[in-house]
Amino acid sequence: MRYLPHTEDDISRMFQAIGLKGFDELFAAVPASCRHDAPLDLPAPKSEWELIDYMNEIQAQMAVGPSYHVLIGAGRYHHHIPCSIPALMSRSEFLTAYTPYQSEMAQGTLQGLFEYQTLTARLLGVEVANASMYDGASGLAEALLMSLRIKKKETKVAISSAIHPHYREVVRTYFAPTDFEVIELPVLADGRTDLSAAGDIEGLAAVAVQSPNFFGVVEDLSAVSATAHDKKALSLVVFTEAMAYGLLKRPGSCDADIVCGDGQSFGMSREFGGPGLGMFGCKQAYVRNLPGRLVGKTQDVDGKTGYVLTLATREQHIRREKATSNICSNQGIMTLIAAMYMASMGGTGLRTLARQNYDKAEYLKAGLLAAGGRLTYSGPTYNEFVMEFDCDFAAIQKRLLEKKIVAGLNLGQFYENSSNKWLFCATETASRKVLDSVIEEVKA
């Protein structure tokens, strides 16, 4: 696509059309302290090859470059991406397709989204899935607001303190201007959520947990659903590692009412924390309160298969106060990537890959235990776990960094009295050589 900058004449005519003399008037509402008036300090123009060398130099200054082995998950996971994914997504009919505002003209896009919904519903065990949310964090906030719409008389939601700290922060941001109350549930010694605290909460609309949670511990989702339903509340399950449900029991089969999370693991690289993909599904009974887009399959007057946006109760379609969400765009490209990934892997491939993630994490866990580490939580884990050490692991971490291995995330920045607790993660990308290097450093 060619870049066509505005000429001076173009800019002049634009200002005339809006009744302004120039840029000073255009940006007058922006405080002077927030404006940069001096010329930009840009380097001289470079040739294509010089520019590539320059960008490589900048990349080499990163603390952790592509050549490093990262054994930290915490919401972003390093997985192999099949070569078919970037090859397909680089095709213009996929890469340039985005939001289907004129759905009758975007049948290919809508079919791709419909296939994504089908695959997501099967993965999560839900009756209906949308296409899609911005990310897992906003998906959780929207799920909690959805539960309050369904339980109209209730004003409180309970969320586990084992949910990703950033997700909980997003929830607090969403709820700050409302009169609803967010209550955090504590964590038991096994790393699972203490559900007993939910029994004393009046006016409860939903109970939300993450599984596997931020500590990598797999929650008892059937118990979560039973606890929530005993209180006449909804059961919400959120996840950061979608790959886990290639192996673990699906949340929908555990009677979860709403399931949401991030699909970054499905064909998306970690980049600098994004973009991700908000996966979202629920029971059929709650479909009219579902946020975001929903694509349906139908037939036209000639009996041909067609795809349409349906139940689109968003602010662009109806009055703002009636909208189910302020999410007005789906993650179109990321959604198609996830659909391609799930279709490429298939059920058997996802199970095999999920098992590799589990096995490699268990190998690292056993090695660290043998080297003198202690498990912080006794509950079952997927591909992440928390360890404590009598030695100074911060010093070990620095030595590992010299070997281009980034291992262990200190939880002290997220939780009180946790400065000696370290979160580890291993996916299929971690070789035995790398895992053994970590174990040997702890032994030393």
Q: 60-95: b or e for each residue (b if 16 or more CB lie within 10 Å)?
A: eeeeeeeeebbbbbbbbbbbebeeebeebeeeeebe
Rounded to an integer, what distance in angstroms lies between the CA atom of residue 217 and that of residue 124?
Answer: 18
User: Does 262 lie in the same domain as 148?
Assistant: yes
- Look up the CATH number of the domain holding residue 74: 3.90.1150.10
Domain count, the chain: 2
Tens of pLDDT along the chain (444 residues) come to: 456 778 999 999 999 999 999 988 999 999 988 988 888 888 889 999 999 999 888 888 877 777 889 999 999 999 999 999 999 988 877 776 555 556 566 788 888 899 999 999 999 999 999 988 989 999 999 999 999 999 999 999 999 999 999 999 999 999 999 999 999 999 999 999 999 989 889 999 999 999 999 999 999 999 999 999 999 999 999 999 999 999 999 999 999 999 999 999 999 988 777 788 999 999 999 998 998 888 999 998 899 998 888 876 554 555 566 666 766 666 788 999 999 999 999 999 999 999 999 999 999 999 999 999 999 999 999 999 999 999 999 999 999 999 999 999 999 999 999 999 999 999 999 999 999 999 999 997
User: Does 144 lie in the same domain as 129?
Assistant: yes
Rounded to an integer, what distance in angstroms lies between the CA atom of residue 242 and that of residue 251?
Answer: 11
Picking from 284, 316, 341, the residue at the C-terminal end of a domain is 341
Cα separation values, 106 from 35, 131, 233, 324, 336, Å: 41, 14, 39, 24, 14
Picking from 288, 319, 341, the residue at the C-terminal end of a domain is 341
The answer to whether the CB of 432 falls within 8 A of the CB of 363 is: yes
Q: pLDDT value at position 71?
A: 94
Cα separation values, 59 from 62, 197, 218, 274, Å: 6, 48, 37, 18
User: Does 377 lie in the same domain as 336?
Assistant: no
User: Does 357 lie in the same domain as 330?
Assistant: no
The answer to whether the CB of 205 falls within 8 A of the CB of 233 is: yes
Q: Is residue 160 part of a domain?
A: yes
Strands 204-210 and 181-185: unpaired
Picking from 307, 341, 375, the residue at the C-terminal end of a domain is 341
Q: Is residue 391 part of a domain?
A: yes
**Distant-in-sequence contacts of 195-203, Cβ < 8 A, 24+ apart:** 195/223, 195/224, 195/227, 197/158, 198/158, 198/227, 198/228, 198/231, 198/233, 199/227, 199/230, 199/231, 201/156, 201/158, 201/231, 202/156, 203/153, 203/154, 203/155, 203/156
Cα separation values, 258 from 49, 124, 238, 254, 443, Å: 51, 10, 9, 11, 44
Name the residue with tokens 């900058």.
Answer: 5
Rounded to an integer, what distance in angstroms lies between the CA atom of residue 366 and that of residue 377?
Answer: 14
User: Does 330 lie in the same domain as 365?
Assistant: no
User: Does 326 lie in the same domain as 222?
Assistant: yes
The answer to whether the CB of 185 falls within 8 A of the CB of 161 is: yes
User: Does 254 lie in the same domain as 202?
Assistant: yes
Q: pLDDT value at position 269?
A: 87
SS3 content of the chain, % helix, strand, coil (to 5): 40, 15, 40
Q: pLDDT value at position 68?
A: 86
Name the CA dihedral angle for 21, 27, 29, 31, rounded to a multiple of 10 degrees: -130
DSSP string, 211-266: SS-TTSBPP-HHHHHHHHHHTT-EEEEEES-GGGGGTSPPGGGGT-SEEEEE-TTT
Name the residue with tokens 């659903």.
Answer: 225
Q: Is residue 93 part of a domain?
A: yes
DSSP code, position 412: G
Alpha helices for 32-186 (secondary structure H)? 48-60, 84-89, 92-95, 107-124, 136-150, 165-175
Which structural domain, as residue segments, surrounds residue 360? 69-82+347-443
| Tally of CB atoms within 10 A around 384 | 29
| Tally of CB atoms within 10 A around 31 | 8
* Encoded tokens for 202: 């009046």
User: Does 211 lie in the same domain as 317?
Assistant: yes
User: Does 230 lie in the same domain as 169?
Assistant: yes
The answer to whether the CB of 441 falls within 8 A of the CB of 367 is: no
User: Does 402 lie in the same domain as 335?
Assistant: no
DSSP code, position 26: H
3-state secondary structure of 408: coil
Rounded to an integer, what distance in angstroms lies between the CA atom of residue 94 and that of residue 430?
Answer: 31
pTM for the structure as a whole = 0.86
Neighbouring C-alpha atoms within 13 Å toward the C-beta of 443? 12
At residue 67's C-alpha, the angle toward residues 362 and 71, to 5°, is 25
